[in-house]
Amino acid sequence: MNDVKRTPDVDVVVVGAGFAGLYLLHRFREMGLAALAFERGGDVGGTWYWNRYPGARCDVQSIDYSYSWDTELDDQWEWSERYATQPEILRYLGFVADKHDLRRDVRFSTGVDGAVWNDDTSLWEVRTDDGATTTCRYYVMATGCLSVMKDPDLAGVADFAGDVYYTGRWPHDDVDFTGKRVGVIGTGSSAIQSIPIIASQAADLTVFQRTPNFSLPAYNGPVRPDDAAQINADRTGYREAARWSSGGVPREIPVDSALAVSEDVRRARYEGAWQEGTIFSMMGSFNDIMVNAEANATAAEFVRDKIRAAVDDPATAELLCPTTYPLGTKRLCLDTNYYTTFNEPHVHLVDLHANPISSITPTGIDVVSDDGATSYEFDAIVMATGFDAMTGAIVAVDIEGRDGAELRERWVDGPRTYLGLMSAGFPNMFMVTGPQSPSVLSNMAVSIEQHVDWICDTIEHLRASGHTVIEPTSTAEDGWVQHANDFADITLFPEANSWYMGANVPGKARVVLPYLGGVDRYRRICDEVVERDFLGFEIGGANGAEVNDGVICRVQPDVSIMLEMMEEMALPPLDSMSPVDARAFSEAMSAASPPGPEVGEVLDGTLPGADGNDLAYRLYRPATPGPHPIVVYFHGGGWVIGNATSDDPLCRDLCDQSGSIIISVDYRHAPEARFPAAPDDGFAATTWVAQHAEELGGLSGGLAVAGWSAGANIAAVVAQRARDEGGPTITGQLLLNPVTDGDLTRASYVENADGYILTRALMAWFWDHYADPDQRSDPQASPLRASNLADLPPAMIVTSEFDPLRDEGEAYAQALAAAGVDVHHLRARGQIHTSIPAVGALLSGAGTRSEMAQALRGFSGAGVPA
């Protein structure tokens, strides 16, 4: 091993000399590092070097889609249009390369074929297509998100006698379609930009459309004076605002739902978004366009109406209207005269769903039609068929990490990254705007700069601390992949067969590729990782390595967002109030929550409590024909707060999903009525409901009990008393985050003492109002303390990860199971005490709520719905 060369040829190899590669070279040079970029193209520019098709432009305004790291550029370069053309952007990048003399660090027309990590030397060995190998300490893939073309996967392309053009590899010489018959395959951004221009030249143009796209008018022209004024008033402030915006462009974020305003207000907002001419405007017109299908549908229909208004022939207009996926879940396009081009007599649209392409022939394109086949003859065919996005350029290189691990293999079920920046098992390898970072869902210029800065600052940190190797842990990576998927799951993005999902490439894993949490949140997370001593990384060198293992985002994304909003509101803690004020405050908060789903019927009534008092109840009846199984439900609120209607959305949801009558019964509250008033009322109410089951429209012969928090405590006690006191027959118990024990010292109380709404202090406040210390070990206060837990009805127990009550719920589930009770324990990952009941507000709890409803079906013997 002595002859192993431990000094690298260069400090850093960069792959690619586009927006990212150029800034990397600049930063590394400033840091005094020797960096070398390999670029397959003949010059700088990356995507702007290759995509020279007619009409190619950026779709983020050029004043935003430009570098901020060289502040002089704002004075030295003036954009001629809002959305600069490809040649102008390429000139800009060339200008920057010249200004900073960056080309001398680029080896052009050289592709990287392979990169192998050598564990002995802690260096990467990078193999290029000229046969050379270059060693480096750090290896950075600045390969862009849309740089490897997707195979159009069409038979016969090689047989076509005319010219075939690919938008992503357009010739450098001018292509003139004048007088030609042209076919364009595809209707994504590239096609939508090029079709109007090709149509203006061609004698005849046929567009082959598989899936129509939503496109908004770009209203291109000179930079709008307002936009210029905004940036020029405070350039530094503007750029900083972009860095901390959700999409990388400063803009106001709406706080209202599309469904909370009148039709007129909604249409006016959409019209404003339409006139704005940006890709962010329509998706950001309300706060729920990308998360609520109903809200999204209103925006989608607005755009479809615009298409219908623009296109003369109604049949063509309908074909151009997307209907199979929510707006924005396939990349929105910005166009100039796209839809009206179809009003030209020499422009035709072929619907590939009705008439799929059978083959490319020597003379044109054959499609399957009612009478067998239709042949279209062309002089030229344009393939605007897209890219193997986000991962294509990374897995195109044979990357071999630690212990011979192949990146391509590791990613076969979808990319695995930490922060979209690195991958476990591939030390010192960085990706700029890699999968699971905001990348393509943001202004790329901003996201590229953030990544380059993070990578360079990290390398600087390694050098300053005498380290040479950094690698994410697999725990951190698993956590990040989970977090990215959790974010995707609360949006509509998974509903489209888009390149965001990898769905455009046959055989590619179907996962959401970009990170959906936004640029601002993402930047905060990356900064936090560094502040927490590079959480989730192993950092080392010749003198060994230190691991700072952990997961950066563990709370469900929508729950995190809610907690952040509540922190901003600086609400007073409940335990600082009197019980009366706490009740009023909780009621006001509940009133502002979204309602639950519609149910067949809602009835309010009263029933007798334990000492003859009247207890209010609210009955939720399913819309299906009865009689229905009955569930007696006890609300949460620490025995102090709440009433029969305070868990209304959850009761509606359980009723709707389980097909059961839910009867939410009130009970007397502390401190006015202390222990054991609440369980006494709970038992009395359950007995009364069982006796009146048929009158209430329910099935007789048994009912289930359910509850949340203190209500689940009452439900558990009722189940025990029913066993001990000869009925009523309880068929099952659904306990959501139950209080089962008065002991406040378990680990979950320590871990989640603060910050997750139900604090340790608040729980202590509840107990103090509810029961004397010597009463708390009574099984009717702490059902976990019961001497006998056998022969209780089947239970579903839900515990939430970030809940002080988690461990006592866990203990009850274990104790019941040990006593032979049929227990289904669901540990709700990333949830807090209050998040699962938040129907309509927090989507991440939806799966748990469905399982709860399924458990209720199981208790009644109704089984799982078909």
Give contact residues for ligand N01 (rule: CB under 6 A).
Answer: 57-59, 146, 152-154, 167, 185-191, 193, 208, 210-211, 331, 352, 357, 384-387, 440, 499, 504
Based on CB atoms, which residue is closest to ligand N01, 278 or 686? Answer: 278
Residue 552: Cβ-neighbour burial (10 angstroms; 0-12, 13-18, 19+)? middle
Based on CB atoms, which residue is closest to ligand N01, 335 or 656? Answer: 335
- Minimum gap (Å) between residue 504 Cβ and ligand N01: 5
697: left (phi over 0), alpha (psi -120 to 50) or beta: left
- Minimum gap (Å) between residue 387 Cβ and ligand N01: 6
- Minimum gap (Å) between residue 439 Cβ and ligand N01: 10
Q: 540 - beta bridge partners?
A: 469, 545
- Minimum gap (Å) between residue 352 Cβ and ligand N01: 5
Q: Tell me the CB-side half-sphere exposure of residue 242, using CA atoms within 13 A.
A: 28
Q: 149 - beta bridge partners?
A: 387
Residue that the structure tokens 């149910």 belong to = 599
Q: What are phi and psi of 286, to 5 degrees?
A: -140, 170
Q: What is the largest CA-CA distance in the chain?
A: 95
Based on CB atoms, which residue is closest to ligand N01, 326 or 622? Answer: 326
Q: From residue 184, how far is each of 48, 226, 359, 375, 639 by CA, in Å?
A: 21, 37, 14, 15, 68
User: CB–CB of 493/487 below 8 Å?
Assistant: no
Calculate the CA dihedral of residues 582, 583, 587, 590 and round it to 10 degrees: 70
- Minimum gap (Å) between residue 30 Cβ and ligand N01: 29
- Minimum gap (Å) between residue 433 Cβ and ligand N01: 12
Question: ∠465-468-472 over CA atoms, to 5°?
Answer: 100
Based on CB atoms, which residue is closest to ligand N01, 239 or 331? Answer: 331
- Minimum gap (Å) between residue 404 Cβ and ligand N01: 34
d(CA 851, CA 798): 10
d(CA 45, CA 21): 9
134: left (phi over 0), alpha (psi -120 to 50) or beta: beta
Based on CB atoms, which residue is closest to ligand N01, 287 or 497? Answer: 497
**DSSP assigned state of 712:** H
Based on CB atoms, which residue is closest to ligand N01, 167 or 391? Answer: 167
d(CA 851, CA 839): 14
Helix (H, G, I), strand (E, B) or coil at 571: coil
Based on CB atoms, which residue is closest to ligand N01, 189 or 831? Answer: 189
Q: Positive or negative CA dihedral for 323, 328, 333, 338?
A: positive
Please identify the residue of the shown chain whose CB is closest to the bound ligand N01.
188
Cβ within 8 Å of residue 652, ≥6 positions away: 595, 596, 597, 598, 599, 620, 839
- Minimum gap (Å) between residue 37 Cβ and ligand N01: 23
Based on CB atoms, which residue is closest to ligand N01, 351 or 680? Answer: 351
- Minimum gap (Å) between residue 54 Cβ and ligand N01: 12
Q: 406 - beta bridge partners?
A: 400
Based on CB atoms, which residue is closest to ligand N01, 386 or 830? Answer: 386
- Minimum gap (Å) between residue 497 Cβ and ligand N01: 7
- Minimum gap (Å) between residue 782 Cβ and ligand N01: 58
Based on CB atoms, which residue is closest to ligand N01, 358 or 664? Answer: 358
Sheet holding 163-166, edge to edge: 163-166, 380-383, 181-185, 204-209, 347-351
Q: Positive or negative CA dihedral for 52, 166, 109, 31?
A: positive
- Minimum gap (Å) between residue 212 Cβ and ligand N01: 8
- Minimum gap (Å) between residue 575 Cβ and ligand N01: 50
H helix or E strand, kind and range, residue 734: strand 730-736
Based on CB atoms, which residue is closest to ligand N01, 187 or 423? Answer: 187
Classify strands 661-665 and 630-634 as parallel, antiparallel or unpaired: parallel
Q: Which residues of 687-709 are buried (b: 16+ CB within 10 A; e: fewer)?
A: bbbbeebeebbbbbebbbbbbbb
Based on CB atoms, which residue is closest to ligand N01, 384 or 555? Answer: 384
User: CB–CB of 804/759 below 8 Å?
Assistant: yes
Based on CB atoms, which residue is closest to ligand N01, 388 or 471? Answer: 388
- Minimum gap (Å) between residue 230 Cβ and ligand N01: 22
Residue positions counted in the chain? 866
The amino acid at residue 403 is D
- Minimum gap (Å) between residue 186 Cβ and ligand N01: 3
User: CB–CB of 448/497 below 8 Å?
Assistant: no
- Minimum gap (Å) between residue 323 Cβ and ligand N01: 13
Based on CB atoms, which residue is closest to ligand N01, 41 or 536? Answer: 41
- Minimum gap (Å) between residue 170 Cβ and ligand N01: 11
Based on CB atoms, which residue is closest to ligand N01, 209 or 687? Answer: 209
Residue that the structure tokens 């458990």 belong to = 855
The 3-state secondary structure of 249-292, one letter per residue: CCCCCCCCCCCCCCHHHHHHHHHHHHHHCCHHHHHCCCCCCCCC
Q: Which residues of 419-439 are buried (b: 16+ CB within 10 A; e: fewer)?
A: bbbbbbbbbbbbbbbbbbbbb
User: CB–CB of 454/523 below 8 Å?
Assistant: no
Based on CB atoms, which residue is closest to ligand N01, 138 or 499? Answer: 499
Helix (H, G, I), strand (E, B) or coil at 773: helix
Based on CB atoms, which residue is closest to ligand N01, 437 or 473? Answer: 437
